[in-house]
């Protein structure tokens, strides 16, 4: 390898240009950017993006990406011409439901550090004079949002990169990627070969085509999206000029899938309400063949008709005008609406940064550059990681169907628990038939159908007091969860834990491998189970795992998802001494939890399930009736019990055996809703929601799983040196809501001393403790038990108090018995 890695970026759109800038800024200057089109209006999506930047997003990561784009572009210019106009944004509500949603959105803005204000209809009209106040219920104004000039911002960043040594080459269509021994070595175009140590595909919606060159499924689908411009409008005459282009805030009318901006004396209208129009990437014309640009398809006027009608209703000044020009512009949609970032799982040095909006482009570029230069992005990117998908998420049909649905839902009001409607059911556990018989209400997790409660348990609600909920928080929820939680605390319940990822690690090097990857000590005799963490080199929590040592060289890991598998695989020793297998789909798991769990299980096995013989955090290979199982004495709900694992073929038999034996003990099936409540009462963290790579173990309250003195060290250890619970400046903090009748759900801002101080991660009503339990990130000074705080829920102030945790059974009497 040369002294500097040779980096080739495919694509000079807003992402490729931003990336070249961010990488060269970090001192990696051997950068070549290739584009099949001309520079810098290459013919890709960035070439005609109208550039509206709305920063607020339910995802903290996406909001931070957008915040950085705004900060960066606001300071950029090209030959004195602006790259970003901070006009502010106005999102109007055409319905009471939308107004409520904008209030929720205002909460996200506050939680993630963007200022915004809710407006009444008159204030909306005062801010954007074309808006008919009579058509709106109110709006959300974010003053720091605005308009990006995408091609200009791309070129301005490219110039900075070029000044540091990068080169940008137009008319270079990449046709192949060379590789040797699992590493990229070069990028080929029709007439040239560019040696490379690192290749980043920033090819936008052409991503799947580049992916095919390296046997990588890139889960995105190009979809056409309509954008049109009116003729000149009297009302805008003399208001703007060619230099300034626009003066009113950018505008969204999401109830009708519309957005608007000014183009000097015209209005540009974007529309997401039309039928999804997916395009096969191989059908996209080349820059030479395309009549205008490859990403611009002919405008289909009929699809736009409803958009025009609604636009005139909101902006009556449009009435005398009409659509003068329009296009169906292509850009990328992924199965979950999030970008694709990260390294190929099997080809070292091949990276992706695709399915990125102009809005998030600079933030994504910065994170990618940090990843390449420093080994990790400073923002948590697990929601965007290319390797987050399950195998079932990578079929062409799934990618297309979910992509289309994401297009259709892009402006919809989405409840945090709302699953995609199609394709379902996809993955079902062996207990599915029984669960349906019990009236399961299923939501989706990693493609699995997962019960949230069971209608069959409704009669158990008799005499159980459950506070009324507001309409929003009662969606995808039932008071039956209370009865299931009660039955778990008082008797025994079966929980389907199949959806959690299970990984088998075997081989003579397995222990050494896992010891180095995780924080806790796994060098225990077979039969042990250990809670441990995967850290990145900077000490950020990549995941939390339970590792069961089944025999000397065989471990079973309870993991959080595909990213864990990817991380483990990346660190496999090359000597073949360790094998890794994802056993999730071929196996299943039932959690049998509750004070009567032992009474239920013991008669079904010859093994002694007594506390002395089978202690907490121990495992056994045994049988339950006719079913061979791996039994682990663990509990996510804070009650006595076991997780029982078996192969998928024996799953139904396991369920039936436990169910039948449980009848005399009043066994119930428990759903995820009760589970979540019980785990929060016990203070058990959920990785990805409560803690991520942005947090260290001490801040997150899982420092107990770190053994700093472990022989041989572990990834992340050095970064933790000198840190402790005492040095943590922020903490994952337990809150209880003062009024048991009030609910919060997660992602709400938390105010301390009248100022925004943090945000809620997870929340649920604690049926045993009798109020809502919320976990929140707060500065350590505010994370002191007894401190009063305010959670902002749909704009309402919900008083809460910092509590000592765990709220339930701190002495662990109920588990260790
Ligand atoms: C009508 C419309 C309106 C939009 N409005 C907004 C908006 O208001 N706000 C917003 O944030 N986003 C908006 N978007 C989305 C946004 O435009 C895109 O998500 C973004 O521009 C993608 O940038 P990119 O750099 O990833 O892709 P592109 O700009 O498409 O760049 C990819 C580049 O890769 C090159 N390439 C591909 N294959 C090869 C190859 N084999 N060899 C060499 N080069 C190759 C292409 O030529 C292209 O230049 C809109 C999109 C459309 C279509």
Q: Return the SS3 of 55.
A: coil
d(CA 597, CA 604): 12
pLDDT at 1: 45
Site to probe by mutation for ligand 1, drawn from 206, 267, 355 as the one with most ligand atoms within 8 Å of Cβ, is 206
User: How many A from CA of 423 to the centre of ligand 1?
Assistant: 28
Q: Residue whose CA is closest, atom 33 of ligand 1? A: 11
Distance of CA 139 to the CA centre of its chain: 27
In the set 380, 544, 564, 582, the catalytic residue is 544
Q: Return the SS3 of 385.
A: strand
d(CA 379, CA 62): 10
User: How many A from CA of 327 to the centre of ligand 1?
Assistant: 15
Q: Which of 802, 799, 815, 795 is nearest to 93 (CA)?
A: 795
Q: Give, as one character, the DSSP assignment of residue 702.
A: -
- The verdict on whether 256 is a catalytic residue reads no
Contact 378, 367 (CB under 8 A): yes
The whole-chain average pLDDT of the chain stands at: 97
Could you tell me the pLDDT band of residue 536, with boundaries at 50, 70 and 90? Answer: very high
Question: What percent of the chain is modeled with pLDDT above 90?
Answer: 99
C-alpha distance from residue 354 to each of 51, 69, 337, 412, 508 (Å): 17, 16, 12, 23, 39
The number of C-alpha atoms within 13 Å of 294 and in the hemisphere containing its C-beta is 27
* Rama region for 446: left / alpha / beta (φ>0; ψ in -120 to 50; rest): left
- Count CB neighbours of 397 within 10 A: 8
**What does the angle CA 89 – CA 111 – CA 475 come to, to the nearest 5 degrees?**
90
The ligand 1 atom nearest the CA atom of 359? 11
Q: Who lines ligand 1 at CB under 6 A?
A: 10-16, 34-37, 42-46, 49-52, 150, 172-174, 202-204, 206, 210, 225, 227, 270, 329-331, 354, 356-359
User: How many A from CA of 11 to the centre of ligand 1?
Assistant: 9
User: How many A from CA of 460 to the centre of ligand 1?
Assistant: 55
| Length, in residues, of the chain | 817
Q: Residue whose CA is closest, atom 31 of ligand 1? A: 13
d(CA 356, CA 593): 44
Question: What percent of the chain is modeled with pLDDT above 70?
Answer: 100
Torsion from C-alpha of 470, 473, 476, 480, nearest 10 degrees:
-70
User: How many A from CA of 324 to the centre of ligand 1?
Assistant: 24
User: How many A from CA of 334 to the centre of ligand 1?
Assistant: 14
The ligand 1 atom nearest the CA atom of 361? 23
Site to probe by mutation for ligand 1, drawn from 49, 151, 214, 282 as the one with most ligand atoms within 8 Å of Cβ, is 49
- The verdict on whether 259 is a catalytic residue reads yes
Site to probe by mutation for ligand 1, drawn from 357, 361, 403, 410 as the one with most ligand atoms within 8 Å of Cβ, is 357
Report pLDDT digits (tens) over 317-356.
999 899 999 999 999 999 999 999 999 999 999 999 999 9
d(CA 280, CA 43): 17
d(CA 345, CA 613): 42
What does the longest C-alpha to C-alpha distance in the chain come to?
88
Look at the pTM and tell me if it is higher than 0.95: yes
User: How many A from CA of 283 to the centre of ligand 1?
Assistant: 17
**Average pLDDT rounded to a whole number, residues 151-177:** 98
- The verdict on whether 360 is a catalytic residue reads no
pLDDT at 43: 96
Q: Residue whose CA is closest, atom 53 of ligand 1? A: 329
Report pLDDT digits (tens) over 563-576.
999 999 999 999 99
Report pLDDT digits (tens) over 740-766.
999 999 999 999 999 999 999 999 999
Q: Give, as one character, the DSSP assignment of residue 666.
A: T
Q: Residue whose CA is closest, atom 27 of ligand 1? A: 204
d(CA 307, CA 756): 38
Contact 611, 524 (CB under 8 A): no
pLDDT at 749: 98
User: How many A from CA of 743 to the centre of ligand 1?
Assistant: 41
In the set 225, 360, 382, 452, the catalytic residue is 225
pLDDT at 125 over 70: yes
In the set 259, 398, 495, 759, the catalytic residue is 259
HEC assignment per residue over 632-656: ECCCCCCCCEEEEEEEHHHHHHHHH
The ligand 1 atom nearest the CA atom of 203? 34
C-alpha distance from residue 685 to each of 205, 292, 534, 672 (Å): 37, 52, 14, 15
């Amino acid at each position: 390898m040369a002294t500097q890695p040779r980096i080739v970026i495919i694509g000079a759109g807003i992402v490729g240009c931003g990336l070249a800038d961010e990488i060269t800024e970090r001192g990696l200057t051997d950068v070549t950017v290739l584009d099949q089109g001309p520079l810098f209006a290459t013919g890709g999506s960035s070439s005609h993006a109208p550039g509206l930047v709305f920063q607020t997003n339910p995802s903290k990561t996406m909001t931070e990406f957008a915040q950085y784009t705004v900060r960066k572009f606001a300071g950029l210019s090209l030959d004195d011409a602006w790259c970003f106009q901070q006009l502010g944004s106005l999102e109007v509500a055409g319905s009471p439901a939308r107004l409520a949603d904008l209030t929720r959105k205002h909460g996200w803005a506050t939680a993630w550090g963007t200022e915004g204000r809710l407006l009444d209809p008159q204030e909306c009209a005062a801010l954007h004079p074309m808006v008919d106040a009579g058509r709106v219920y109110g709006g959300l104004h974010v003053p720091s949002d605005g308009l990006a000039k995408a091609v200009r911002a791309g070129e301005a960043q490219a110039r900075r990169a070029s000044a540091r040594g990068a080169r940008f080459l137009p008319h270079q269509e990449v046709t192949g990627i060379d590789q040797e021994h699992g590493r990229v070595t070069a990028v080929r175009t029709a007439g040239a070969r560019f040696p490379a140590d690192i290749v980043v595909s920033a090819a936008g919606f052409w991503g799947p085509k580049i992916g095919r060159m390296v046997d990588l499924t890139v889960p995105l689908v190009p979809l056409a999206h309509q954008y049109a411009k009116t003729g000149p409008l009297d009302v805008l005459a003399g208001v703007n000029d060619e230099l300034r282009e626009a003066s009113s805030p950018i505008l969204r009318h999401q109830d009708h899938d519309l957005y608007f901006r000014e183009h000097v004396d015209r209005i540009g209208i974007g529309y997401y309400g039309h039928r999804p129009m997916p395009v096969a990437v191989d059908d996209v014309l080349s820059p030479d063949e395309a009549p205008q640009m490859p990403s611009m398809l002919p405008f289909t006027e009929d699809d736009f008709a409803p958009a025009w009608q609604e636009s005139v209703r909101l902006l009556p000044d449009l009435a005398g005008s009409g659509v003068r020009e329009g296009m169906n512009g292509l850009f990328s949609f992924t199965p979950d609406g999030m970008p694709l970032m990260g390294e190929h799982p099997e080809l070292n040095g091949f990276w992706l940064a695709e399915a990125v909006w102009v809005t998030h482009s600079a933030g994504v570029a910065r994170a990618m550059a940090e990843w390449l230069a420093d080994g990790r992005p400073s923002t948590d990117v697990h929601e965007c990681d290319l390797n987050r998908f399950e195998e079932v998420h990578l079929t062409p049909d799934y990618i297309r169907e979910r992509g289309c649905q994401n297009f259709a839902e892009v402006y919809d009001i989405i409840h945090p628990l709302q699953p995609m409607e199609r394709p379902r059911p996809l993955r079902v556990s062996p207990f599915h038939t029984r669960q349906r018989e019990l009236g399961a209400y299923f939501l989706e997790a990693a493609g699995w159908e997962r019960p949230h409660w069971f209608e069959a348990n409704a009669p158990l609600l008799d005499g159980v007091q459950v506070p009324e909920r507001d309409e929003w928080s009662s969606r995808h929820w039932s008071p039956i969860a209370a009865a299931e939680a009660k039955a778990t605390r008082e008797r025994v319940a079966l929980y389907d834990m199949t959806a959690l990822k299970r990984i088998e690690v075997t081989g003579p090097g397995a222990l050494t491998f896992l010891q180095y990857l995780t924080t806790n000590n796994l060098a225990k005799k077979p039969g042990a189970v250990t809670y441990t963490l995967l850290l990145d080199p900077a000490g950020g929590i990549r995941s939390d795992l339970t590792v069961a040592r089944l025999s000397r060289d065989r471990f079973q890991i309870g993991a959080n998802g595909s990213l864990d598998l990817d991380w483990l695989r990346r660190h496999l020793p090359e000597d073949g001494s360790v094998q890794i297998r994802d056993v999730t789909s071929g196996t299943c798991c039932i959690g049998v939890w509750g004070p009567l769990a032992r009474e239920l299980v013991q008669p079904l096995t010859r093994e002694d399930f007594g506390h002395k013989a089978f202690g907490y955090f121990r495992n056994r290979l045994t049988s339950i009736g006719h079913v061979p199982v791996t039994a682990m004495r663990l509990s996510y709900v804070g009650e006595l019990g076991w997780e029982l694992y078996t192969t998928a073929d024996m799953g139904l038999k396991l369920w039936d055996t436990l169910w039948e034996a449980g009848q005399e003990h009043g066994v119930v099936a428990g759903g995820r809703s009760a589970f979540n409540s019980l785990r929060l009462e016990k203070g058990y963290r959920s990785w990805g929601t409560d803690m991520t790579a942005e947090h260290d173990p001490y801040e997150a309250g899982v420092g107990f799983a770190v053994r700093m003195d472990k022989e041989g060290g572990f990834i992340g250890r050095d970064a933790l040196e000198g840190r402790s619970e005492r040095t943590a400046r922020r903490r994952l903090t337990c809150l209880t809501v003062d009024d048991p009748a009030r609910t919060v759900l997660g992602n709400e801002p938390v105010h301390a001393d009248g100022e925004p101080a943090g945000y809620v991660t997870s929340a649920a009503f604690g049926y045993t403790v009798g109020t809502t339990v919320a976990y929140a990130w707060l500065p350590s000074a505010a994370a002191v038990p007894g401190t009063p705080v305010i959670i902002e829920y749909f704009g309402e102030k919900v008083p809460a108090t910092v509590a000592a945790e765990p709220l339930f059974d701190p002495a662990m009497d109920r588990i260790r018995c």
